[in-house]
Chains A and B, each alone.
Chain A
Amino acid sequence: MGFGDLRSPAGLALLDGFLADRSYIESFVASQADVAVFEALAGPPPAPLCHALRWFNHIKSFQKEKGSLPGVKKPLAQYGPAGVADSTKGRPTPPADDDDDDDDDDDLDLFGSDEEESEEVARIKAERLAEYAARKSKKPALIAKSSILLDVKPWDDETDMAKLEECVRTIQLDGLLWGQSKLVPVGYGIRKLQIGCVVEDDKVGTDILEERITGFEDYVQSMDVAAFNKI
C-alpha cells in the first residue's frame, strides 16, 4: 500500500482518486492515519485535485488537536490503495520505514542506511516507535538544561575579584541563571573565579557567555569551561 511519491503530481493524483469516495484515510473519523499522510505532503494539493484539497483543508483544521486524534501512526506504506508502494521522500514524520535515507531534519545520518534490516524487523520497530511517540506526546515537554561551571581568570593578583564577579553577574540572557561561585587559588597569589550557571540548551551557548564575559576587558583575561553537565 502507499501513494507512490506524495510529493509528485502522480502521487497526489493517486491520493485524490483514493479520497474521491472516502472522507478519511482510514475508517470514518479523523485519525493518526490522516495526520501521517497530511504531514507527508509538501503543501496543499493543487485546486484541480478537489477531493485531496477538500480532505487537506479538513485535516488542517485539526492541526491543534492532531496529537489527540485516535489511532497510531504507521508508516506511509500502510495507507492508501493496495498495490502501490510508498516512495515519498523527505517527509518529516519519524515513524517511517527505515530503509531509505530520508531524514530531513537536522539530525545526522552518520552511519548510512540500516540495510540489513528485514521488513518484519522494520515493521516491529516502526510500531514501537509509533507507540513511543504517542506516549511521549502526552508527557509535557521538558526544557533541556545544562549546568555549566566556568573558570573566569583575572589579569593578575591585584585584580579586584569582587568587582570581576559583579561584572559577570550583570550579564543577563534569556535562559541563563547564575549560581553559586567561589574563588579558587591558582598560584602566586592569583585566584580564579569559579562560577556555576544553568542554561537552557536552546537559548544560551558557551560562545555568547565567553564573548560577554571576556568583554569585561579590564578584569577578565580568559574564560574556560570547567564542567558541563546535563541537568
Chain B
Amino acid sequence: MAKEKTHINVVIIGHVDSGKSTTTGHLVYKCGGIDPRKIEKFEKTAAQMGKSSFKYAWVLDKLKAERERGITIDISLLKFNTKKYSITIIDAPGHRDFIKNMITGTSQADVAILMVSAARGEFEAGVSRSGQTREHALLAYTLGVKQMIVCVNKMDLTEPPYCQKRYDEVVRGVTTFLKKIGYEASTVPFVPISGWTGENMITPTQKMSWFQGWKVKRREGHSSGRTLLEVLDSIQPPIRTINKPLRLPLQDVYKIGGVGTVPVGKVETGILKPGMTLLFSPAKLTAEVKSIEMHHQGLQTALPGHNVGFNIKNVAVKNLRRGDVAGNAQQDPPTEVDSFIAQVIVLNHPGKIKAGYSPVLDCHTAHVTCRFQELKEKLDRRSGQKTQDLPQILVSGDAATIKLVPKKPLSVESFFSYPSLGRFAARDLKQTVAVGVIKSIEKASSLKSTQKSQLSK
C-alpha cells in the first residue's frame, strides 16, 4: 500500500518563469497524484475538442483553472508516489507570508528542488537579485534543508534545442550561486529536463545523449541516475527522531464532556504513550496521559509527525494553551527560557534595527513578543564568520548573533537539539522582518539549568 511509504515533503523554489508549476503538474499527473476519473474526463473533452496532441498541457491548464476557483481540496495538496516514497510537493508561492509558513508551518520541507530555466534570458533573470529564488534558497539552507536538487528546465527551448553548451553554462552559474549560499556542490544532483515535453522526468530522453547522468556524493553513499524521478528516489529519508525525548507543542486545548481535557498537537520528536507523565512548559504543570486518539481512532503509540489529541487527568482547560510544549517529565522535559541566543537574518525591515527592538516571534505554535536584548556579533551570511562585535544597528540583509528575551513565558529549544522548536520568524508590520535559528537557551532560573546539553541524538 502507498500508505506504508516514507513520507517526504519537497519544496520547489524558482523564478516565476522557471516552469515550476508545469513540472510539478507533470510529475503529479504522471505519478498518479490526480484522480484518474478526473483526468479521463478532461482527456475525453480534449479529444472532442481536437486537442489530443496537446492533451497533457490542456489537462494541466484545466486543473490550474480548477485550482484557481478553489473547487477541490485534494488538488491543493499535491501528492504522488515514487517507488520508495510518498511525496508531497510544495510549490513555493511568491506570497510574502509563505516564509513564515515555511518556518512554523505543519509541513516542513525535507528537500528543496531549485528549478531554473535554460531558455535564453530566463536563467539570467531567474538568479538575478530581483526575485525570490535567492531568498528561498537561503532560507532553505538556513532552516536546515540540506538536500538540494537542481532541475535545469525548458531544455526544449534552448538555442538550438537540447543544447549541451547552454546546459553547462547554466550548471556553472547555479553552482556558483549555491556555493554562495552554503551548499556543497558535489551533493547536489543536476538534471536537464523539460517539464513541458517531459524529457528526463520519468524516463530518460534520447534527445540529450550528451547527458552522462546525475551523480551525488553523500556520506551515506553515492547514487546516480538519469531522470528526475530517480533523483527523488535517491533522497535520504528524514532521520527518525523517535529516540529523542518527547516534544509536542500544543495547537489547541479542548474540553470534552465525559472525557475531560484534551490537548492537540503534533509530535515533533520522541513518542507519546498512555500512562506517561507529561510536563507542560511554560505552564509548569504535570499530568498523566490517559489515552490518545488520531482521526477518532485510539492509538497506543504516537510517533513523530502524528497529529494527535490526548486525554489528561486533573488539569483544567484554562491552565493550558497553544504554545505550551509537552514533554516526558522523566526525560529532559521542556522548560521555560529566560533568554536565548539566536542567529538571525534580517529580511524585510524598512529601517534600522537596534538593541531593544521587540517584534513578535512565531516559534512552533508559540506567538510571543521578544526583545532583541543584545546585538552580539554581526556575521557573514554564508560562512557564519564574525565580521563585527556588538554592532549598533542591523539592516535588511544582515545576519547577526542576538540575545533575545521573551516578554511572556516561552518554551523553546536549540535548533541543534530540536529543529522545529528552534527556528522562528520575527513578525512586525504584518511582515516577516527576520528569521532565526536558536543556538542556545538559558533555562529559567527556577528550574535546574545545568543539564542543557544532555541529549541523546
Contact = CB atoms under 8 A, between A and B. Distances in A.
A188 B129 contact: no
A15 to B, nearest CB: 27
Contacts of B396: 108
A177 B307 CA distance: 28
A35 to B, nearest CB: 18
A128 B121 contact: yes
Interface of B: 16-17, 20-21, 64, 67-73, 76-78, 90-98, 100-101, 105-107, 120-122, 124-125, 128-131, 134-135, 138, 176, 180-181, 251-257, 259, 262, 264, 292-297, 307-309, 311, 322, 345, 347-348, 381-382, 396-397, 427, 430
Contacts of B294: 187
Contact of B121 (A116, A135, A146, A190): A135
Interface stretch (A17-25, A73-81, A155-163): A155-163
B295 A186 contact: yes
A65 to B, nearest CB: 23
Given A106-B348, A109-B129, A129-B125, A185 B296 contact: yes
Nearest to B125: A132
Given A107-B129, A205-B430, A207-B430, A230 B94 contact: yes
Contacts of A187: 262, 264, 292-297, 308-309
Given A108-B134, A110-B135, A149-B76, 19 more contacts: A103-B130, A108-B397, A110-B134, A111-B138, A131-B120, A135-B121, A145-B93, A147-B70, A148-B76, A156-B254, A156-B257, A157-B257, A188-B309, A201-B93, A205-B96, A221-B254, A230-B91, A230-B95, A231-B93
B99 to A, nearest CB: 10
8 contacts: A105-B130, A109-B397, A132-B124, A147-B70, A186-B309, A187-B296, A188-B256, A197-B70
A190 B345 CA distance: 39
A70 B426 CA distance: 46
A225 B397 contact: no
Given A110-B397, A189-B256, A222-B322, A94 B69 contact: no
A146 B254 contact: no
A216 interface: no
Contacts of B124: 125, 128-129, 132
A29 interface: no
Given A125-B124, A129-B121, A188-B254, A111 B180 contact: yes
Given A108-B135, A128-B120, A222-B322, A186 B76 contact: no
Interface in A180-231: 180-182, 184-190, 194, 196-199, 201, 205-208, 221-222, 224-231
Contact of A227 (B70, B77, B296): B77
Interface residues on A, range: 35 or more
Contacts of A148: 76
B411 to A, nearest CB: 18
A38 interface: no
A109 B397 CA distance: 7
A198 B69 contact: yes
Contacts of B72: 179-180, 196
Contacts of B251: 153, 222, 224
A98 B129 CA distance: 9
B257 A231 contact: no
Q: Would you list the 9 A-B pairs with minimal beta carbon distance, nearest first?
A: A179-B70, A187-B293, A132-B121, A187-B309, A230-B93, A146-B93, A128-B121, A185-B296, A201-B95
B430 A201 contact: no
B73 A181 contact: yes
A178 interface: yes
Contacts of A222: 251-252, 322
Greatest chain B CB density within 10 A among A94, A129, A188, A194 is at: A188
Contact of A230 (B20, B125, B307): B20
Contacts of B345: 110
A10 B120 CA distance: 38
Contacts of B100: 206
Contacts of B427: 207
